[in-house]
Amino acid sequence: MKPRDAAALCPIMTAPEVADYLRIHYATLYKMIRRGEIPVFKMGSDYRFRRDELEKWIADKQRSQERSK
């Protein structure tokens, strides 16, 4: 198993992993964090993301966009 594959299975993700997962620039992710737009928590001084919360957040965003059409 490649290291990247192992990260894909982990329920907790780092900011670089989330930026890659969402296919956005890390600076965009940090703006979203500062604005409180994305579910995140801190471990020490580092941001961490729960994969299940991110997937729910993505699904909620998709539903709200579909309703606004």
Residue 10 has pLDDT above 90, yes or no: no
**CB of 13 within 8 A of CB of 49?**
yes
**Pairing of β 12-14 and β 41-43:** unpaired
Which pLDDT band, with edges at 50, 70 and 90, does 1 fall under?
A: very low
The pLDDT, as a whole number, for residue 65 is 86
Task: Tell me the per-residue pLDDT of 19-38, one tens digit each, with 9 for 90 and over.
Answer: 999 999 999 999 999 999 99
Sequence-ordered list of residues with C-beta below 8 angstroms from that of 13, at least 6 positions apart, any chain: 7, 21, 48, 49, 50, 51, 54
Task: Tell me the per-residue pLDDT of 43-61, one tens digit each, with 9 for 90 and over.
Answer: 999 999 999 999 999 999 9
Which pLDDT band, with edges at 50, 70 and 90, does 6 fall under?
A: low
